[in-house]
Copies of this chain bind each other. A is one copy, B any other.
Amino acid sequence: VDNLEVIRRQIAFIAEVDKLKSVLRRSSPIGCERRENSAKHSWQVALSAIILCEHANESVDLMKVVKMLCIHDVVEIDVGDTFHYDKVGSADLFQREEAAARRIFGMLDDPLRSELLSLWHEFEARETAEARYAAAVDRLMAIIMNSNNNGGNWPASDITLEKIVLNNRHMADGARGLWEVAQMMAQECCEKGFIRER
């Protein structure tokens, strides 16, 4: 009976994070006008981390990476999606996101609660091999989506090749090869005239 109560609370958590399906992101799926939501992004980035694992700079615990990526966006349920290029200077964003993480993962019992909260912090801090690789794959997603979508949300947001390189260069800390390809894709977007160089 205790066990059924534990399951009930875990299901309440799953029903709560179901709200992530309604959070809209800035980027659109390839070939679509409509904006994509954060739940789909979370699936795609987790699958991509599995596919691209051999390109991590250091050997990583893939399960830890995938857990991080499955939960990294749930704080958006409370805080909303923040455009990557607006994050610099958004001083209280981390505080608001952390409060959201405490509320949402707080619905679970320990040890899960602590494990997920700690993984969320680890992803944000980008100080371990797993977090650096996860961050590289997360950023690669936006570049794949926009490159395959005639520049996607970049032109409307006045994002130039220079800004892309400047704001995503931390990808190299997690996966040098992925960053190299990401730059090639952004460069091609520039050559095709979808984005300006600077």
Contacts and interface: CB of A to CB of B under 8 A. Distances in A.
B4 A181 contact: yes
A8 to B, nearest CB: 7
Contacts of A62: 63
Contacts of A148: 15, 18
Given A177-B7, A181-B8, A50 B37 contact: no
A155 B84 CA distance: 42
How many copies of this kind of chain does the complex include?
Answer: 2
A53 to B, nearest CB: 9
A184 B4 CA distance: 10
Task: Provide the main secondary structure of the chain A interface.
Answer: helix
A81 interface: no
Contacts of A29: 18, 21-22
A14 interface: yes
Contact of A47 (B15, B63, B70): B70
Given A21-B40, A40-B21, A13 B70 contact: no
A70 B43 CA distance: 7
A180 interface: yes
Contacts of A21: 29, 32, 36, 40, 44
Nearest to A5: B181
Given A14-B47, A51-B108, 7 more contacts: A3-B55, A11-B181, A21-B40, A39-B39, A50-B70, A51-B112, A63-B63
